[in-house]
Structure 1
Amino acid sequence: MREFKSIMVPIDGSMHSEHALQQAVYIAKLSKATLNVLYVIDLNTAVSAFERMTLDAYIPGDIDAQGKKILDHAKEVVGDLPQTEYTLKIGDPAKMILTYSKESDADLIVMGSRGLGAIKQIIMGSVSQYLVTHAECPVLVVR
């Protein structure tokens, strides 16, 4: 049986990601693991193509504030669980989650089955499917 010392949970503010966060907290408590909560700002969906060309690595305050608000809500859900880290990244969510899981030496990724996108809700979300296929550690997809 694999021991979990570092659990990563990517969140996006959806109900599915909140259920995944609750499951990750439960597993972290049982295994006394570090919990890494990650929110990725996807500028491709948050900002129009024209705005992306003019931003040049600048993140509009409202987008940054939205990410911080989602992480603040995650802190409320997690409560006083020791060894919990909260991270805000910018980039393609699937690739950023995969990269961060390697950087943080995650033993387990716990994530929601679907995110906020309407089209993605038809089948398992494209991000979760990408991670199930490419991650080096187990991925628990929570419905």
Structure 2
Amino acid sequence: MSNENRYTVVVGVDGSPASKAALGWAAWHAGLVGGSITAIMAWHLPMIYNWEVPGPEGLEHEMAKKLSALIDEVAADKTSVQVRKEIAEGHPARALLDAADETQADLIVVGNRGHGGFTEALLGSVSQYVVHHARCPVVVVREPQRA
């Protein structure tokens, strides 16, 4: 159990349909077990030819707004679930695993694929890495089928 003796679910959110489905599932599940959610949105700007990039403050602010909007869109009807929002710098898989360790998460929830490169992949690189390295159970939620 988590350090507050409350069931904790860490969920990765990037705005993709699969991550929205993961957030919805995590909120539903946390509601069933009286738990809380830590929703993680991660950013990573690799160094390319020593280019100067704008400070991360603006990027983090925009991502925080996007994360709040996604939570409102997807989990607004699950008002009994406490949602902690976290913007993390670094690779998304590492950010999820670190957050799970820090919160002593009981479960990690990820979408089967996000905004990565190979949209044909059945399991994205982040979800695959998390499945193989997590210290707690992991649920991979598939993107809803389009009609």
Pairwise TM-score range, normalised by the shorter structure: 0.7 to 0.9
Q: Which residue number in structure 1 is paired with residue 71 of structure 2?
A: 75
Do 2:12 and 2:109's aligned partners in 1 also have CA atoms closer than 8 Å? yes
Residues of 2 paired with 1:38 and 1:96: CA distance?
Answer: 8
Instruction: Give SS of 1:38's match.
Output: strand
- How far does the alpha carbon of each residue in 1:52-91 deviate from its partner, in whole angstroms, 9 at most, with x for none? 65349x3162x32441232122331222234221111111
TM normalised by structure 2 equals: 0.81
| Residues 121/60 of structure 1: CA separation in 2 closer, same or farther (3 Å cut) | farther
Q: Which residue number in structure 1 is paired with residue 52 of structure 2?
A: 54
User: One-letter code of the match for 1:28?
Assistant: A
Residues of 2 paired with 1:137 and 1:40: CA distance?
Answer: 20
User: One-letter code of the match for 1:68?
Assistant: A
Instruction: Give SS of 1:111's match.
Output: strand
RMSD: 2.1
1:97 deviates by: 1.1
1:93 deviates by: 1.1
Residues of 2 paired with 1:121 and 1:137: CA distance?
Answer: 27
Residues of 2 paired with 1:121 and 1:42: CA distance?
Answer: 23
| Residues 93/8 of structure 1: CA separation in 2 closer, same or farther (3 Å cut) | same
Identity of aligned pairs, percent? 34
Q: How does 1:94-113 map to 2 (within 5 A)?
A: 94-113=93-112
TM normalised by structure 1 equals: 0.83
Structure 1: state its 5+ residue gaps.
Answer: none
Equivalent of residue 39 in structure 1, options 38, 41, 51:
41
Structure 2: state its 5+ residue gaps.
Answer: 1-5, 143-147
1:125 deviates by: 0.4
Do 1:115 and 1:121's aligned partners in 2 also have CA atoms closer than 8 Å? no
**More helix per residue:** 1
Residues of 2 paired with 1:85 and 1:31: CA distance?
Answer: 17
Matched residues, number: 134
